Amino acid sequence: MDRLDNTVRPYAWGSPTAIPELLGTEPTGEPQAEMWMGAHPGAPSHTPRGTLVEVIAADPERELGAEAVAKFGPRLPFLLKILAAGAPLSLQVHPDLAQAREGYAEEERRGVPVDAPDRNYKDANHKPELICALTEFDGLCGFRAPAEAADLLDGLGVDSLKPYVDLLRAHPEDAALREVLTAILTADAAAMADTVTEATAACARLGGPYAPYADMAHHYPGDPGVIAAMLLNHVRLQPGEALFLGAGIPHAYLTGLGVEIMANSDNVLRCGLTPKHVDVPELLRVVRFEAGDPGVLRPEASEDGEEVYETPIDEFRLSRYLLPGGTARDLTLRTPQILLCTAGSVRVGEHELLPGRSVFVPAGEKTEASGEGTLFRATVIV
């Protein structure tokens, strides 16, 4: 197995302190948003044998196992991250596999450069993801019931929001959500900015359930995403709780530190809270206009102490061990795995892992873990 040296991405929304505090390092004063663990070509982990991309490419079956290569090809199908949100991320959705393949092929046909700012599909893969909270973690996930969204908007007392309130109360659920989101994203920019400004003042005055939207507007003044966000469920995760974000589910992370795992893709369609490209017609093609409970996940414990976050995805499987000290645990698998310590001190093979440190374990390699701390395991299902 190989100890991983991982890249921290300095996106503007990142917390300047959360990842340094986890790693026990001094803050640089700059935002530190995501630490990537895996074989994504944008920022692959480094090992003593080279980057993880190079290690896997040299002998895919040895590193990933024959079953994983047969199912997913000669690449690691997931990307593991530590995510530290100090400000809201963009309000976004991800395509399903068929939509991603269709969208990617269409943009390739039109000759849109992969690095173009108005390109939607960077690859032909879907991007389901799971976020597990390490601290209290705020986010948005899926649509509220239209009647609840209407009440929230109506409570602001902003006249220009009344048409949205009426639409949400007068139409069937899916039509109401579609019409209102479309209206918000296609409204006159100047008029919408005025609406957001007035709504922001009301949110700041009212506080309580409106406080998150006042904070969003502080970071993105005049952005229509502030109003669109009120259509979604606001979720506050406690440490150890998680959210699964499937295709077409609008979502955004707001604040907090978590472990995130996703299929290895860059495909994002944005609704707001961003200066980046928003393609409204394509977004509306991908969004699932279904209201419902966001579905907070809690891990299910097995007899050997592994706590698994169950999802309907084969490209990744996330679990954790709360190690009490004493007897070593056998973690050997026939699939590749990344093991990440987030608390305490855990010995994996010959490696002593402190918080934020990780190792890559090739498929089938004998692996034991001992010590006292929290160890996350990322692997695949074959």
> Rounded distance, CA 216 to CA 228, Å?
11
> Rounded distance, CA 200 to CA 217, Å?
6
Q: What is the DSSP string of 107-168?
A: HHHTT--TT-TT---SSS----EEEEESS-EEEEEEEPPHHHHHHHHHTTT-GGGHHHHHHH
Buried b (16+ CB within 10 A) or exposed e, 313-328: bebbbbbbbbbeeeee
Told to judge if 270 belongs to the known catalytic residues of this protein, a careful annotator would answer yes
> Rounded distance, CA 287 to CA 268, Å?
12
Count how many Cα atoms sit within 13 Å of the Cα of residue 61 in the half-sphere of its side chain: 3
Which of the following is catalytic: 270, 317, 357, 377? 270
> Rounded distance, CA 65 to CA 8, Å?
28
> Rounded distance, CA 7 to CA 1, Å?
19
**SS3 at position 228:** helix
Residues annotated catalytic, as ranges: 270
